[in-house]
Structure 1
Amino acid sequence: MVNSELAVGLIFLTQTVVGILGNFSLLCHYILLSFTDYRLKSTDFIHKHLIVANFLTLLCKGVPHTMAAFGWKHTLSHLRCKLLFFLHRVGRGASIGSICILSVYQAITISPGNAWWAALKVKAPKYIVPSIFLCWMLQMLVNVIFPIYITSSSSDKNITNVKDFGYCSSVLHDETRNSLYAALLSFPDVLCLGLMLGASGTMVFILYRHKQRVQHIRRTASSPESRAMKTILLLVSTFVYFYTLSSVFQVVLAVSDNPNWILINMAAITAACFPAVSPFLLMSHDSKIHRLCFAWTGNIKSPHLRRNM
């Protein structure tokens, strides 16, 4: 095996294993919380769906690319290739939708206390569950025709117009059809990205105004809303960075009829960066996790501690 292919395989393997362990740890965190008196918030429900979306992205993108980098190519059947690409697209889209819903909900939560915003704050938690499930359904409907383009690398020997991804291939069609299909796939992502950036801008503006009001106070306790807002802003900024980087590689990959293995691997690595990093961002800024770990490792069973988690 060539040294460069071995290095790429190790990168994929490390990224996939670390990402899966991180998301699994965050999932265990919510399982442990279910055994306490802590009442899960609406944002926790969004986090759980983000974990599921991350798992789909890592398993359906990281695992097959790792296998291909280590030399296990042409091992997937026609149906498995279609299923892998479909689940990856759905997971990727659900991840974008989850971050969008999370940022919009947090922007509504910390919004000014006038009558219109107050009514919206009361209604917002009720729309979390329908919005999340609508996001999943929309991604399934939009990407249901995506597998039409995908075929197994072992079954494309009689097809001339194919784009090889190492373990699966994509059948090339005319430019008009590809452009229309690309616009259809991109529309939900662009819409979510616009809402996400708008909500993030609103949170930054509110945070700046709050800082201006309390700057004369030497020591001001950080409210839970402020901490949650900073965590979401970090999550959104990280997502936008990796999503932009991934989109650049995806565009170059889309316009290339015969892309080289470096471009294919870079597009896959950048696509899996956010699912691998996001659980660690959430855990590092969540004080409930630190208190929960302290309570369980120290065998603390105080109801007072559980109520305050």
Structure 2
Amino acid sequence: MITLPTYVLIKQCLLFQNGIGVLANIFLLLFYIFIILCHRPKPMDLISCQLTFTHTVLLLTSGVLWVTEILDSLNIDNDIKCKTMFYISRVMRGLSICITCLLSMFQAVTISPSTSFLANFKFKLKKYIIYACFYIWSLTLSFYSYLIIYVGGLTNVSETSQRKVTKYCSLFPSNYIIKALILTVTTSIDVFLVGVTLITSAYIVLILFRHQRQHKYLHSLSHPRSSPEKKATQTILLLVTFFVVMYWVDFIISSTAVLLWMFNPVIQSVQKLVLDVYPTITPLVQISSDNRIINILKNIRSKYHQIL
């Protein structure tokens, strides 16, 4: 049994983690908006900007206390508030998985050798990205619309007929066939996207590893520290590892909560802590690996020292 101090510690860790994640994502989001509006963005910048926006909203709707306080202070019907927040949170989680998969796929196309079949798509990346993003957003927003029907604010109905999923929300009773169908479709889509992400990431790592071996001698002379290929490989491996591990841990915790058919604030807090690791880590990894951001921060630092 988890004691109250442990539960409070988990909530504090969640708040601290979300605070860092929100700040990092907002910084990265502003950077991508600046690049898209004022410079010539790379095709990957368009995807990364959407991923950053998705993670910002996901963190804001999952565990930032002041957002909850603002919503509580507004005179909004609890049912509307519950449906809106739960729907947005689920949509952002789905978009995070889809866009991560999309990012991995387009990275594989970008670095594919000229002799590869994927190389034929390199010159139309920007066009394909716009279409792919449009379909992803449309399908995800449409797919999770069922939550508007099956999720709502807590009522006076006995708790045996509704399952509490948050402090203010519950799942309404539904047909077991419909419930099983939704769970099967959702799980199948997630498993497929995670599988594609793993395959494309393995392909990327393989290409970079071969390229690094071919140019090992040249890199050892001109770049004694670490080659760009090695740095990119480590970045991809880190992001994919966090993405896959955190997804399956979250899936196990969610499945356990569904089987228990009860609301447990401790389990929910641990699930949020796990779920928010990936959107918190991702911007930090992207910031530390993007030379454009590093150069901007160095220029700001040098100008600050000149003023002093």
Cα separation, partners in 2 of 1:168 and 1:117, compared to 1, 3 Å: closer
2: CA distance between counterparts of 1:117 and 1:176? 41
Is 1:239 matched with 2:243? Answer: yes
Alignment of 1:60-209 (within 5 A): 60-63=61-64, 77-114=78-115, 116-153=117-154, 155-158=155-158, 160-164=160-164, 165-209=166-210
Q: How many residues align?
A: 294
TM-score normalised by structure 2 residue count: 0.84
Separation in structure 1 between the aligned mates of residue 67 and residue 255 of structure 2, nearest angstrom: 22
Q: Following the alignment from structure 1 to structure 2, what is the Cα–Cα distance between the partners of residues 167 and 291?
A: 46
What letter matches 1:237 in structure 2? T
Unaligned regions of 5+ residues in structure 2, if any? none
Return the offset for 1:29. Answer: 2.3
Contact 2:78 2:168 in 1 (8 A): no
Q: Which residue of 1 aligns with 2:13?
A: 11
The CA deviation at 1:124 is: 2.6
CA contact (8 A) 1:23 1:279 kept: yes
- Asked if the contact 1:246–1:270 (Cα under 8 Å) also holds between the matched residues in 2, the reply is yes
Query: 2:55–2:92: 8 Å Cα contact kept in structure 1?
Result: yes
Residue in structure 1 matched with residue 23 of structure 2 by the alignment? 21
SS in 1 for 2:112: coil
Q: TM-score, normalised by structure 1?
A: 0.84
Greater alpha carbon shift after TM alignment, 139-148 vs 173-182: 173-182
Paired letter, 2:97: I
CA distance, structure 2, for counterparts of residue 52 and residue 207 of structure 1: 29
| Long gaps (5+) in structure 1 | 301-309
**1:95 and 1:242, CA in 2 relative to 1: closer, same or farther beyond 3 A?**
same
Q: Deviations over 1:72-108 (max 9, x none)?
A: 9xx9701111111111111111111111111111111
Q: 1:207, 1:21 → 2: CA distance?
A: 32
| Higher relative helix content | 2
Match of 1:261 in 2: 265
Q: Tell me the equivalent position of 1:212.
A: 213
Given that residues 12 and 65 in structure 1 are in contact (C-alpha distance below 8 angstroms), is that contact kept between their aligned partners in structure 2? no
With over 3 angstroms needed to count, the CA separation of the structure-2 counterparts of 1:127 and 1:113, relative to structure 1, is same
Which letter does structure 2 place at the counterpart of 1:244? Answer: W
CA distance in 1, matches of 2:222, 2:207: 16
Letter in 2 for 1:285: S
What residue identity is the alignment partner of 2:24?
A: G
Structure 2 Cα separation of the partners of residues 283 and 274 of structure 1: 14
What residue is the counterpart of 2:276 in the other structure?
A: 272
Aligned partners of 1:201 and 1:256: how far apart in 2?
36
Decide whether the 8 Å contact of 1:103 with 1:200 is kept in 2. yes
Counterpart of 2:90, as a letter, is: R
Per the TM alignment, residue 131 of structure 1 is displaced from its structure 2 partner at its CA by 0.8
> What is the CA distance between 1:35 and its match in structure 2?
7.8
Quick one: distance in 2 between partners of 1:53 and 1:117? 28
What is the deviation of 1:249? 0.7
Write the distance in 2 (CA, Å) between the matches of 1:83 and 1:259: 19
C-alpha separation in 2, matches of 1:115 and 1:240: 27
Equivalent position SS for 1:169: strand
How many Å apart are 1:227 and its aligned residue? 4.3
Partner SS, residue 83 of structure 1: helix
Give the distance between the partners of 2:273 and 2:198, measured in 1 at CA.
Answer: 24
Confirm or deny: 8 A CA contact 1:12 1:66 kept in the other structure: no
Distance 1:130 1:106 in 2: 17
| Preserved contact between residue 19 and residue 64 of structure 2 (Cα < 8 Å) | no
Greater shift in the superposed pair: 188-197 or 246-255: 188-197
Cα distance, 1:197 vs. partner? 0.9
> Which shifted more, 284-293 or 159-168?
159-168
Q: Which residue of 2 aligns with 1:53?
A: 54
SS at match of 1:249: helix
**Equivalent-residue separation in structure 2 for 1:95 and 1:119 (angstroms):** 27
3-state SS in 1 of match to 2:152 = strand
Percent identical residues: 28
Distance 2:245 2:222 in 1: 31
1:258-292: CA deviation from partner (whole Å, max 9, x where unpaired): 24332222222211221122111111111111101
